[in-house]
Amino acid sequence: MTSNETGTHGAVLTDTPPEGDRPLVELRSAGKSYGNIRALHGVDLTVHPGRVTCVLGDNGAGKSTLIKIISGLHQHTEGEFLVDGEPVRFSTPREALDKGIATVYQDLAVVPLMPVWRNFFLGSEMTKGPWPVRRLDIEKMKKTADEELRNMGIVLDDMEQPIGTLSGGQRQCVAIARAVYFGARVLILDEPTAALGVKQSGVVLKYIAAAREKGLGVIFITHNPHHAYMVGDHFSVLRLGTMELSASRSEVSLEELTNHMAGGTELASLKHELAQVRGVDVEELPEEGDLTAPVATSSEGKS
Ligand X SMILES: Nc1ncnc2c1ncn2[C@@H]1O[C@H](COP(=O)(O)OP(=O)(O)OP(=O)(O)O)[C@@H](O)[C@H]1O
For ligand X, the binding residues (CB under 6 A) are: 34, 37, 39, 57, 59-65
Q: Which does 6 bind (CB under 5 to 8 A by kind): ligand X, Mg ion, none?
A: none
Instruction: Select 37 or 155, whichever has its Cβ closest to ligand X.
Output: 37
Instruction: Select 54 or 177, whichever has its Cβ closest to ligand X.
Output: 54
Instruction: Select 73 or 247, whichever has its Cβ closest to Mg ion.
Output: 73
Instruction: Select 40 or 209, whichever has its Cβ closest to ligand X.
Output: 40
Q: Which secondary-structure segment (H or E) carries 93?
A: helix 93-98
**x/- map, 27-66, Mg ion, by CB under 5 A:** -------------------------------------x--
Residue 193 binding Mg ion, by CB under 5 A: no
Residue 71 binding Mg ion, by CB under 5 A: no
Q: Which does 39 bind (CB under 5 to 8 A by kind): ligand X, Mg ion, none?
A: ligand X
Q: Which does 196 bind (CB under 5 to 8 A by kind): ligand X, Mg ion, none?
A: none
Closest by CA position to 261, among listed 231, 233, 229: 229
Minimum Å gap between C-beta 223 and ligand X is: 7
Residue pair 115/97 in contact (Cβ under 8 Å)? The answer is no
Minimum Å gap between C-beta 206 and Mg ion is: 24
What whole-number distance in Å separates Cα of residue 105 and Cα of residue 47?
18
